[in-house]
Amino acid sequence: MDKFLLLIELFSVISFSQCARILGVFQMPTISHQSVFQSLWKELSLRGHTVTVITPNPLKDPSLINLTEIDINYTYEIMERHGFQFFMSKELPIYTKIPRIFSLNYELSEEILKNGEFIKLYNNSNEKFDLIIAQTYVCPIMYSLSAKMKAPIIGVSSMGGWTGSHFAMGNPSPPSLYSEMFLPYNGEMSFYERFCSTLYYLWTRYFLTFEAIPKSDKIARKYLGNDIPYLGEVEKNLSVLFLTTNPILYTPRPTVPTIISLQQLHIKPKKALPSDLQNILDDAKEGVIYFSLGSNVKSINMPERIRNVLIEAFNELPYTILWKWESDDLPDKPKNVIIKKWLPQQDVLGKLIVIISYL
Ligand SMILES: *[C@@H]1O[C@H](CO)[C@@H](O)[C@H](O)[C@H]1NC(C)=O
Ligand SMILES: *[C@@H]1O[C@H](CO)[C@@H](O)[C@H](O)[C@H]1NC(C)=O
Ligand SMILES: *[C@@H]1O[C@H](CO)[C@@H](O)[C@H](O)[C@H]1NC(C)=O
Ligand SMILES: *[C@@H]1O[C@H](CO)[C@@H](O)[C@H](O)[C@H]1NC(C)=O
Protein backbone atom coordinates (compact mmCIF):
# COMPACT_ATOMS: atom_id res chain seq x y z
CA MET A 1 0.00 0.00 0.00
CA ASP A 2 2.88 2.34 0.82
CA LYS A 3 4.28 1.84 -2.63
CA PHE A 4 0.92 2.59 -4.16
CA LEU A 5 0.65 5.83 -2.20
CA LEU A 6 4.15 6.65 -3.30
CA LEU A 7 3.08 6.15 -6.91
CA ILE A 8 0.07 8.40 -6.46
CA GLU A 9 2.29 10.97 -4.80
CA LEU A 10 4.77 10.70 -7.63
CA PHE A 11 2.05 11.42 -10.15
CA SER A 12 0.63 14.28 -8.11
CA VAL A 13 4.07 15.89 -7.98
CA ILE A 14 4.24 15.64 -11.76
CA SER A 15 0.75 17.08 -12.14
CA PHE A 16 1.60 19.88 -9.76
CA SER A 17 4.00 21.27 -12.28
CA GLN A 18 2.38 19.97 -15.43
CA CYS A 19 -0.14 17.38 -16.55
CA ALA A 20 1.31 14.57 -18.56
CA ARG A 21 0.08 13.04 -21.78
CA ILE A 22 -0.03 9.33 -21.14
CA LEU A 23 -0.63 6.43 -23.51
CA GLY A 24 -1.75 3.13 -21.99
CA VAL A 25 -1.65 -0.15 -23.89
CA PHE A 26 -3.41 -3.03 -22.16
CA GLN A 27 -3.73 -5.84 -24.66
CA MET A 28 -4.92 -8.96 -22.83
CA PRO A 29 -8.64 -9.56 -23.44
CA THR A 30 -9.50 -10.89 -20.00
CA ILE A 31 -11.45 -8.91 -17.45
CA SER A 32 -9.36 -10.07 -14.50
CA HIS A 33 -6.30 -8.39 -16.03
CA GLN A 34 -8.18 -5.32 -17.22
CA SER A 35 -9.93 -4.56 -13.93
CA VAL A 36 -6.48 -4.00 -12.39
CA PHE A 37 -5.50 -1.52 -15.10
CA GLN A 38 -8.88 0.22 -15.11
CA SER A 39 -8.15 1.66 -11.64
CA LEU A 40 -4.85 3.00 -12.90
CA TRP A 41 -6.06 4.76 -16.03
CA LYS A 42 -9.18 6.11 -14.34
CA GLU A 43 -7.19 7.60 -11.45
CA LEU A 44 -4.55 9.13 -13.72
CA SER A 45 -7.22 10.85 -15.82
CA LEU A 46 -9.01 12.12 -12.70
CA ARG A 47 -5.76 13.68 -11.58
CA GLY A 48 -5.77 15.82 -14.68
CA HIS A 49 -3.48 13.84 -16.96
CA THR A 50 -4.56 13.46 -20.55
CA VAL A 51 -4.86 9.71 -20.89
CA THR A 52 -5.39 7.64 -24.03
CA VAL A 53 -5.76 3.90 -23.56
CA ILE A 54 -6.21 0.96 -25.83
CA THR A 55 -8.14 -1.76 -24.05
CA PRO A 56 -10.68 -4.52 -24.62
CA ASN A 57 -12.61 -3.30 -21.55
CA PRO A 58 -13.18 0.44 -21.80
CA LEU A 59 -14.89 2.10 -18.85
CA LYS A 60 -17.07 4.19 -21.19
CA ASP A 61 -17.67 6.69 -18.41
CA PRO A 62 -18.56 10.07 -19.96
CA SER A 63 -17.62 11.88 -16.75
CA LEU A 64 -13.96 11.00 -17.35
CA ILE A 65 -13.34 13.93 -19.65
CA ASN A 66 -9.56 13.57 -19.78
CA LEU A 67 -9.75 9.98 -20.95
CA THR A 68 -9.90 8.61 -24.50
CA GLU A 69 -10.45 4.88 -24.84
CA ILE A 70 -9.81 2.86 -27.98
CA ASP A 71 -12.01 -0.21 -27.69
CA ILE A 72 -10.54 -3.52 -28.89
CA ASN A 73 -13.15 -5.79 -27.33
CA TYR A 74 -13.27 -7.77 -30.60
CA THR A 75 -9.99 -9.38 -29.49
CA TYR A 76 -11.92 -11.52 -26.97
CA GLU A 77 -12.67 -13.70 -29.96
CA ILE A 78 -8.92 -14.31 -30.50
CA MET A 79 -8.56 -15.46 -26.90
CA GLU A 80 -11.44 -17.93 -27.39
CA ARG A 81 -10.07 -19.18 -30.70
CA HIS A 82 -6.64 -19.92 -29.22
CA GLY A 83 -8.32 -21.88 -26.43
CA PHE A 84 -6.33 -20.15 -23.69
CA GLN A 85 -8.02 -21.96 -20.80
CA PHE A 86 -7.48 -25.35 -22.44
CA PHE A 87 -3.83 -25.06 -23.38
CA MET A 88 -3.02 -23.74 -19.90
CA SER A 89 -4.40 -26.92 -18.36
CA LYS A 90 -2.29 -28.49 -15.62
CA GLU A 91 -1.74 -31.75 -17.49
CA LEU A 92 0.05 -30.13 -20.42
CA PRO A 93 3.83 -29.68 -20.25
CA ILE A 94 5.08 -26.13 -19.70
CA TYR A 95 7.19 -26.07 -22.89
CA THR A 96 4.00 -26.35 -24.94
CA LYS A 97 2.21 -23.62 -22.99
CA ILE A 98 4.75 -20.83 -23.32
CA PRO A 99 4.98 -20.99 -27.15
CA ARG A 100 1.18 -20.99 -27.30
CA ILE A 101 0.92 -17.99 -25.02
CA PHE A 102 3.37 -16.24 -27.32
CA SER A 103 1.36 -17.18 -30.45
CA LEU A 104 -1.72 -15.72 -28.81
CA ASN A 105 0.19 -12.54 -27.96
CA TYR A 106 1.64 -12.15 -31.45
CA GLU A 107 -1.87 -12.11 -32.81
CA LEU A 108 -3.22 -9.77 -30.12
CA SER A 109 -0.35 -7.32 -30.68
CA GLU A 110 -0.81 -7.39 -34.45
CA GLU A 111 -4.49 -6.72 -34.00
CA ILE A 112 -3.62 -3.54 -32.08
CA LEU A 113 -0.88 -2.46 -34.48
CA LYS A 114 -3.39 -2.87 -37.36
CA ASN A 115 -6.16 -0.96 -35.60
CA GLY A 116 -7.06 2.15 -37.61
CA GLU A 117 -7.53 4.43 -34.61
CA PHE A 118 -4.27 3.25 -33.16
CA ILE A 119 -2.32 3.76 -36.40
CA LYS A 120 -3.51 7.38 -36.38
CA LEU A 121 -1.89 7.77 -32.96
CA TYR A 122 1.55 6.40 -33.62
CA ASN A 123 1.73 7.58 -37.20
CA ASN A 124 0.99 11.17 -36.23
CA SER A 125 4.25 12.94 -35.59
CA ASN A 126 2.33 15.75 -33.82
CA GLU A 127 1.04 13.28 -31.25
CA LYS A 128 3.59 13.34 -28.44
CA PHE A 129 3.30 11.32 -25.26
CA ASP A 130 5.27 11.98 -22.09
CA LEU A 131 4.85 8.42 -20.91
CA ILE A 132 3.73 5.05 -22.15
CA ILE A 133 2.28 2.54 -19.71
CA ALA A 134 2.12 -0.95 -21.17
CA GLN A 135 0.77 -4.19 -19.87
CA THR A 136 3.60 -6.55 -19.00
CA TYR A 137 2.61 -10.10 -19.71
CA VAL A 138 5.05 -12.32 -21.56
CA CYS A 139 5.48 -10.83 -25.00
CA PRO A 140 7.16 -7.40 -25.23
CA ILE A 141 5.96 -6.37 -28.74
CA MET A 142 3.95 -3.39 -27.54
CA TYR A 143 7.02 -1.93 -25.77
CA SER A 144 8.30 -1.08 -29.24
CA LEU A 145 5.93 1.90 -29.18
CA SER A 146 8.24 3.55 -26.66
CA ALA A 147 11.09 3.40 -29.17
CA LYS A 148 8.84 4.50 -32.04
CA MET A 149 7.22 7.37 -30.13
CA LYS A 150 10.37 8.27 -28.20
CA ALA A 151 8.70 8.20 -24.82
CA PRO A 152 9.79 6.53 -21.58
CA ILE A 153 7.87 3.39 -20.72
CA ILE A 154 6.55 1.81 -17.52
CA GLY A 155 5.39 -1.81 -17.44
CA VAL A 156 2.44 -2.91 -15.30
CA SER A 157 1.60 -6.52 -14.69
CA SER A 158 -1.75 -7.65 -13.32
CA MET A 159 0.11 -10.49 -11.59
CA GLY A 160 3.74 -11.30 -10.86
CA GLY A 161 6.68 -10.89 -13.19
CA TRP A 162 7.67 -13.81 -15.34
CA THR A 163 11.20 -15.05 -16.08
CA GLY A 164 11.60 -12.85 -19.17
CA SER A 165 10.57 -9.68 -17.31
CA HIS A 166 12.89 -10.32 -14.35
CA PHE A 167 15.72 -10.93 -16.78
CA ALA A 168 15.00 -7.76 -18.80
CA MET A 169 14.83 -5.68 -15.60
CA GLY A 170 18.19 -7.07 -14.50
CA ASN A 171 16.60 -8.68 -11.46
CA PRO A 172 18.50 -11.69 -10.08
CA SER A 173 16.22 -14.66 -10.50
CA PRO A 174 17.92 -17.86 -9.34
CA PRO A 175 15.58 -20.66 -10.47
CA SER A 176 16.72 -22.89 -7.62
CA LEU A 177 15.30 -20.39 -5.12
CA TYR A 178 12.28 -18.81 -6.82
CA SER A 179 9.67 -20.63 -8.79
CA GLU A 180 8.05 -19.06 -11.79
CA MET A 181 4.44 -18.00 -12.25
CA PHE A 182 3.79 -20.65 -14.89
CA LEU A 183 5.19 -23.43 -12.71
CA PRO A 184 2.99 -25.11 -10.11
CA TYR A 185 5.50 -24.56 -7.26
CA ASN A 186 5.24 -22.09 -4.44
CA GLY A 187 7.03 -21.65 -1.14
CA GLU A 188 10.10 -23.71 -0.40
CA MET A 189 10.85 -26.11 -3.26
CA SER A 190 11.99 -29.70 -2.98
CA PHE A 191 15.19 -30.79 -4.71
CA TYR A 192 13.18 -32.21 -7.61
CA GLU A 193 11.21 -28.96 -7.97
CA ARG A 194 14.41 -26.92 -7.95
CA PHE A 195 15.78 -29.15 -10.66
CA CYS A 196 12.64 -28.71 -12.82
CA SER A 197 12.62 -24.97 -12.16
CA THR A 198 16.24 -24.76 -13.34
CA LEU A 199 15.53 -26.75 -16.51
CA TYR A 200 12.53 -24.54 -17.17
CA TYR A 201 14.65 -21.44 -16.70
CA LEU A 202 17.32 -22.63 -19.14
CA TRP A 203 14.72 -23.61 -21.70
CA THR A 204 12.89 -20.26 -21.34
CA ARG A 205 16.07 -18.26 -21.80
CA TYR A 206 16.84 -20.29 -24.93
CA PHE A 207 13.32 -19.94 -26.30
CA LEU A 208 13.25 -16.18 -25.70
CA THR A 209 16.70 -15.45 -27.08
CA PHE A 210 16.50 -17.53 -30.24
CA GLU A 211 12.83 -17.68 -31.04
CA ALA A 212 10.29 -15.50 -29.27
CA ILE A 213 12.10 -12.15 -29.07
CA PRO A 214 13.43 -12.27 -32.68
CA LYS A 215 9.92 -13.12 -33.89
CA SER A 216 8.35 -10.36 -31.76
CA ASP A 217 10.94 -7.93 -33.11
CA LYS A 218 9.97 -8.85 -36.69
CA ILE A 219 6.30 -8.23 -35.96
CA ALA A 220 7.04 -4.83 -34.40
CA ARG A 221 9.12 -3.84 -37.45
CA LYS A 222 6.49 -5.01 -39.88
CA TYR A 223 4.10 -2.37 -38.53
CA LEU A 224 6.32 0.33 -37.07
CA GLY A 225 9.18 0.34 -39.55
CA ASN A 226 12.85 -0.48 -39.26
CA ASP A 227 13.97 2.63 -37.43
CA ILE A 228 13.58 1.09 -33.98
CA PRO A 229 16.19 -0.66 -31.82
CA TYR A 230 16.10 -4.45 -31.36
CA LEU A 231 13.11 -5.38 -29.19
CA GLY A 232 15.32 -7.26 -26.73
CA GLU A 233 17.05 -3.93 -26.00
CA VAL A 234 13.80 -2.00 -25.81
CA GLU A 235 12.52 -4.49 -23.24
CA LYS A 236 15.52 -3.75 -21.04
CA ASN A 237 14.67 -0.05 -21.21
CA LEU A 238 11.59 -0.15 -18.96
CA SER A 239 11.90 2.66 -16.43
CA VAL A 240 9.86 0.82 -13.81
CA LEU A 241 7.98 -2.45 -13.65
CA PHE A 242 4.92 -2.54 -11.41
CA LEU A 243 3.71 -5.92 -10.22
CA THR A 244 0.50 -6.70 -8.38
CA THR A 245 1.48 -9.70 -6.29
CA ASN A 246 0.78 -9.79 -2.60
CA PRO A 247 3.35 -11.45 -0.30
CA ILE A 248 0.52 -13.13 1.62
CA LEU A 249 -0.13 -15.32 -1.40
CA TYR A 250 3.31 -15.56 -2.99
CA THR A 251 6.78 -16.22 -1.72
CA PRO A 252 8.37 -12.81 -1.16
CA ARG A 253 11.51 -12.28 -3.20
CA PRO A 254 14.10 -9.55 -3.42
CA THR A 255 13.80 -7.21 -6.38
CA VAL A 256 15.83 -4.38 -7.87
CA PRO A 257 14.44 -0.93 -6.90
CA THR A 258 12.81 -0.54 -10.33
CA ILE A 259 10.46 -3.46 -9.68
CA ILE A 260 7.70 -2.32 -7.34
CA SER A 261 4.72 -4.25 -6.05
CA LEU A 262 1.44 -2.34 -6.16
CA GLN A 263 -0.35 -5.28 -4.55
CA GLN A 264 -4.06 -4.46 -4.31
CA LEU A 265 -4.61 -2.08 -7.20
CA HIS A 266 -7.73 -3.97 -8.30
CA ILE A 267 -9.60 -3.46 -5.02
CA LYS A 268 -12.53 -1.09 -5.51
CA PRO A 269 -14.68 0.70 -2.89
CA LYS A 270 -17.31 -1.56 -1.38
CA LYS A 271 -20.78 -1.60 -2.97
CA ALA A 272 -24.11 -2.91 -1.69
CA LEU A 273 -25.04 -6.36 -3.04
CA PRO A 274 -27.97 -6.79 -5.44
CA SER A 275 -31.03 -7.64 -3.33
CA ASP A 276 -31.42 -11.24 -4.63
CA LEU A 277 -27.86 -12.01 -3.63
CA GLN A 278 -28.22 -10.25 -0.31
CA ASN A 279 -31.30 -12.39 0.42
CA ILE A 280 -29.42 -15.58 -0.42
CA LEU A 281 -26.66 -14.63 2.00
CA ASP A 282 -29.15 -13.62 4.71
CA ASP A 283 -31.06 -16.90 4.37
CA ALA A 284 -27.93 -19.06 4.56
CA LYS A 285 -27.95 -19.68 8.31
CA GLU A 286 -25.05 -22.16 8.23
CA GLY A 287 -22.84 -19.94 6.07
CA VAL A 288 -21.87 -19.61 2.43
CA ILE A 289 -19.13 -21.25 0.38
CA TYR A 290 -18.01 -19.49 -2.77
CA PHE A 291 -16.75 -21.47 -5.73
CA SER A 292 -15.24 -19.73 -8.77
CA LEU A 293 -12.48 -20.56 -11.22
CA GLY A 294 -12.18 -16.93 -12.31
CA SER A 295 -12.97 -15.31 -15.64
CA ASN A 296 -10.60 -17.22 -17.96
CA VAL A 297 -11.21 -20.72 -16.71
CA LYS A 298 -14.90 -21.44 -17.04
CA SER A 299 -16.61 -23.90 -14.70
CA ILE A 300 -18.85 -25.08 -17.53
CA ASN A 301 -15.79 -26.48 -19.30
CA MET A 302 -14.66 -28.70 -16.46
CA PRO A 303 -14.72 -32.47 -17.15
CA GLU A 304 -18.00 -34.13 -16.16
CA ARG A 305 -16.13 -36.42 -13.79
CA ILE A 306 -14.86 -33.51 -11.70
CA ARG A 307 -18.18 -31.70 -11.88
CA ASN A 308 -19.94 -34.76 -10.46
CA VAL A 309 -17.47 -35.08 -7.61
CA LEU A 310 -18.09 -31.45 -6.69
CA ILE A 311 -21.86 -31.81 -6.94
CA GLU A 312 -21.81 -34.88 -4.72
CA ALA A 313 -19.63 -33.18 -2.15
CA PHE A 314 -21.67 -29.96 -2.13
CA ASN A 315 -24.88 -31.98 -1.79
CA GLU A 316 -23.68 -33.41 1.53
CA LEU A 317 -22.88 -30.04 3.06
CA PRO A 318 -25.22 -28.01 5.29
CA TYR A 319 -23.92 -24.78 3.72
CA THR A 320 -25.16 -22.69 0.82
CA ILE A 321 -22.80 -22.82 -2.15
CA LEU A 322 -22.48 -19.89 -4.54
CA TRP A 323 -21.04 -21.27 -7.75
CA LYS A 324 -19.87 -19.11 -10.65
CA TRP A 325 -21.33 -21.28 -13.38
CA GLU A 326 -21.51 -19.74 -16.84
CA SER A 327 -24.76 -21.25 -18.04
CA ASP A 328 -28.44 -21.21 -17.08
CA ASP A 329 -28.55 -24.72 -15.72
CA LEU A 330 -26.29 -27.10 -13.91
CA PRO A 331 -27.27 -30.76 -14.38
CA ASP A 332 -28.20 -32.45 -11.05
CA LYS A 333 -27.84 -29.17 -9.18
CA PRO A 334 -28.30 -29.79 -5.44
CA LYS A 335 -30.83 -27.54 -3.66
CA ASN A 336 -28.16 -25.77 -1.62
CA VAL A 337 -26.17 -24.78 -4.71
CA ILE A 338 -26.91 -21.42 -6.30
CA ILE A 339 -25.48 -20.73 -9.72
CA LYS A 340 -24.71 -17.29 -11.16
CA LYS A 341 -22.90 -16.44 -14.37
CA TRP A 342 -21.14 -13.51 -12.76
CA LEU A 343 -20.87 -12.38 -9.16
CA PRO A 344 -19.69 -9.13 -7.58
CA GLN A 345 -16.87 -11.15 -6.07
CA GLN A 346 -15.24 -8.45 -4.02
CA ASP A 347 -18.50 -7.51 -2.28
CA VAL A 348 -19.41 -11.13 -1.58
CA LEU A 349 -16.03 -12.16 -0.18
CA GLY A 350 -16.51 -10.59 3.24
CA LYS A 351 -19.58 -12.72 3.88
CA LEU A 352 -18.21 -16.20 3.28
CA ILE A 353 -16.93 -19.03 5.42
CA VAL A 354 -14.86 -20.71 2.67
CA ILE A 355 -13.63 -19.69 -0.77
CA ILE A 356 -12.74 -22.39 -3.29
CA SER A 357 -10.65 -21.20 -6.20
CA TYR A 358 -7.18 -21.81 -7.53
CA LEU A 359 -3.87 -19.96 -7.69
C1 LIG B 1 -9.34 16.96 -16.30
O2 LIG B 1 -8.07 17.57 -16.32
C3 LIG B 1 -8.00 18.85 -15.73
C4 LIG B 1 -6.58 19.37 -15.89
O5 LIG B 1 -6.01 19.03 -17.11
C6 LIG B 1 -8.34 18.76 -14.28
O7 LIG B 1 -8.31 20.03 -13.68
C8 LIG B 1 -9.72 18.15 -14.13
O9 LIG B 1 -10.01 17.93 -12.76
C10 LIG B 1 -9.82 16.82 -14.86
N11 LIG B 1 -11.23 16.43 -14.79
C12 LIG B 1 -11.65 15.16 -14.73
C13 LIG B 1 -13.11 14.93 -14.55
O14 LIG B 1 -10.90 14.22 -14.84
C1 LIG C 1 -18.01 -5.31 -27.61
O2 LIG C 1 -18.65 -4.05 -27.47
C3 LIG C 1 -19.89 -3.95 -28.15
C4 LIG C 1 -20.39 -2.53 -28.04
O5 LIG C 1 -20.30 -2.05 -26.74
C6 LIG C 1 -20.86 -4.96 -27.54
O7 LIG C 1 -22.09 -4.91 -28.23
C8 LIG C 1 -20.27 -6.36 -27.66
O9 LIG C 1 -21.08 -7.29 -27.00
C10 LIG C 1 -18.87 -6.41 -27.05
N11 LIG C 1 -18.28 -7.71 -27.32
C12 LIG C 1 -17.55 -8.38 -26.43
C13 LIG C 1 -16.97 -9.67 -26.90
O14 LIG C 1 -17.36 -7.97 -25.29
C1 LIG D 1 1.68 6.98 -41.89
O2 LIG D 1 2.20 8.26 -42.16
C3 LIG D 1 2.89 8.35 -43.41
C4 LIG D 1 3.52 9.75 -43.54
O5 LIG D 1 3.03 10.64 -42.58
C6 LIG D 1 1.90 8.06 -44.53
O7 LIG D 1 2.57 8.10 -45.78
C8 LIG D 1 1.30 6.68 -44.33
O9 LIG D 1 0.31 6.42 -45.30
C10 LIG D 1 0.66 6.57 -42.95
N11 LIG D 1 0.23 5.20 -42.74
C12 LIG D 1 -0.97 4.90 -42.28
C13 LIG D 1 -1.27 3.43 -42.22
O14 LIG D 1 -1.78 5.73 -41.93
C1 LIG E 1 15.88 3.91 -23.83
O2 LIG E 1 15.18 5.03 -23.31
C3 LIG E 1 15.84 6.26 -23.50
C4 LIG E 1 15.03 7.33 -22.79
O5 LIG E 1 13.66 7.21 -23.02
C6 LIG E 1 16.01 6.52 -24.98
O7 LIG E 1 16.71 7.72 -25.18
C8 LIG E 1 16.75 5.36 -25.64
O9 LIG E 1 16.80 5.54 -27.05
C10 LIG E 1 16.04 4.05 -25.34
N11 LIG E 1 16.81 2.93 -25.85
C12 LIG E 1 16.23 1.84 -26.37
C13 LIG E 1 17.15 0.75 -26.83
O14 LIG E 1 15.01 1.71 -26.44
Ligand in closest contact with the CA of 228: 4
Residues with CB under 6 A from ligand 4: 147, 152, 229, 233-234, 237
Ligand 2 centroid from CA 73, angstroms: 6
| Closest among 84, 49, 41 to 296, alpha carbons compared | 84
Please work out whether the CB of residue 119 comes within 6 Å of at least one atom of ligand 3. yes
Q: What angle do CA 82, 87, 88 make, to 5 degrees?
A: 120
| Closest among 153, 3, 121 to 54, alpha carbons compared | 121
Ligand in closest contact with the CA of 153: 4
Phi, psi for residue 192 in degrees, rounded to 5: -60, -40
Q: Edge to edge, what strands does the sheet with 288-291 contain?
A: 337-340, 320-324, 288-291, 354-356
Ligand 3 centroid from CA 78, angstroms: 27
| pLDDT value, residue 4 | 59
* Pocket probe mutation, ligand 3, options 113, 118, 123, max atoms within 8 Å of Cβ: 123
Question: Which atom belonging to ligand 1 lies closest to the Cα atom of 46?
Answer: 14
Name the CA dihedral angle for 83, 88, 91, 95, rounded to a multiple of 10 degrees: 110
Question: Which atom belonging to ligand 1 lies closest to the Cα atom of 67?
Answer: 14
| pLDDT value, residue 3 | 59
| Closest among 136, 85, 104 to 294, alpha carbons compared | 85
Ligand 3 centroid from CA 151, angstroms: 20
Question: Which atom belonging to ligand 3 lies closest to the Cα atom of 125?
Answer: 5
| pLDDT value, residue 12 | 58
Ligand 3 centroid from CA 123, angstroms: 6
Please work out whether the CB of residue 19 comes within 6 Å of at least one atom of ligand 1. yes
CB atoms within 10 A of CB 336: 17
Segments making up each domain of the chain, as ranges? 3-261, 275-357
CB atoms within 10 A of CB 157: 24
Ligand 1 centroid from CA 200, angstroms: 47
Q: What is the DSSP string of 207-248?
A: HIIIIIHHHHHHHHHHHH-S-S--HHHHHTT-SEEEE---TT
Query: Going residue by residue through the chain (359 aa), what tens digit of pLDDT does each one get?
Result: 555 555 666 665 554 557 999 999 999 999 989 999 999 999 999 999 999 999 999 999 999 999 999 999 999 999 989 987 777 777 788 888 899 999 999 999 999 999 999 999 888 878 899 999 999 999 999 999 999 999 999 999 998 899 999 999 999 989 999 888 888 887 889 999 999 999 999 999 999 999 999 999 999 999 999 999 999 999 999 999 999 988 787 778 889 999 999 877 888 888 888 998 899 888 888 899 999 988 878 888 888 999 999 999 999 999 999 999 999 998 889 999 999 998 888 888 877 889 998 76
The domains spanning 3-261 and 275-357 adopt the same CATH topology = yes
Residues facing residue 323 across a β-bridge? 291, 339
| pLDDT value, residue 194 | 95
CATH 3.20.20.70 at 3-261, yes or no:
no
Superfamily (CATH H level) for 275-357: Glycogen Phosphorylase B; (3.40.50.2000)
Ligand 3 centroid from CA 119, angstroms: 8
